[in-house]
Amino acid sequence: MNWLAPWLKISFVSMVVLFSRIGQTTGPHDSPQPPAAETSSKPANCAAPEYRQFDFWSGDWDAFDVDNPTTKVARTQVDLILDRCVLRENYEGADGHNGQSFSIYDASRKVWHQSWVTNRGELLVLEGKFEAGEMVLSGVDHGRVGQPLVRGIWKPVEGGVRETAETSIDGGKTWTPWFDLVFRAHKP
């Protein structure tokens, strides 16, 4: 019996170690989970202030032509998605022209990027910067005759947001108004 006692002690200690390791893993091939302090020390995605520059446009809006502020031309819902990294616009025009845009700050190039697509097969890609309190994005409209440059300017105004758009057929030397909208909080 003397030979059995040490063997039982070793077996018991081995089982305690084995069962304590099983409680630390979540699966047969998983490693133990890091302590909570390690996971919370990672910086949040899109936490830099630049990512918040266009947040003023986020909301549920009715859009009106600045020259005709009583006739609604569209309903626009703009929300932050993908962990607040992307601004998504859903535009429903009163004339049936619908579209969506996705805007993101590209930290690698220090530029804002927007892709706009519509139910008419249109694609518009704009890029630019937030400057002097305005988001200014521009690009080439490949779908229009002459492929003009287009420029959109968004800025917060009292009671909403204003978006003006311009086109240029001379490489940006002169600009012609395209549209001028004001977004006000949606009223059901």
CA distances (Å), origin 21, targets 30, 76, 114, 165: 11, 54, 50, 63
Per-chain mean pLDDT for the chain: 84
0.85 exceeded by pTM: no
Mean pLDDT of 151-156: 98
Assess whether pLDDT exceeds 60 at residue 66.
Answer: yes
Distance CA(61)–CA(67), nearest Å, equals 18
Q: What is the pLDDT of residue 167?
A: 95
What digits encode the pLDDT tens for the residues 5-31?
443 344 444 433 333 444 444 444 444
What digits encode the pLDDT tens for the residues 93-147?
999 999 999 999 999 999 999 999 999 999 999 999 999 999 999 999 988 888 8
Distance CA(71)–CA(51), nearest Å, equals 33
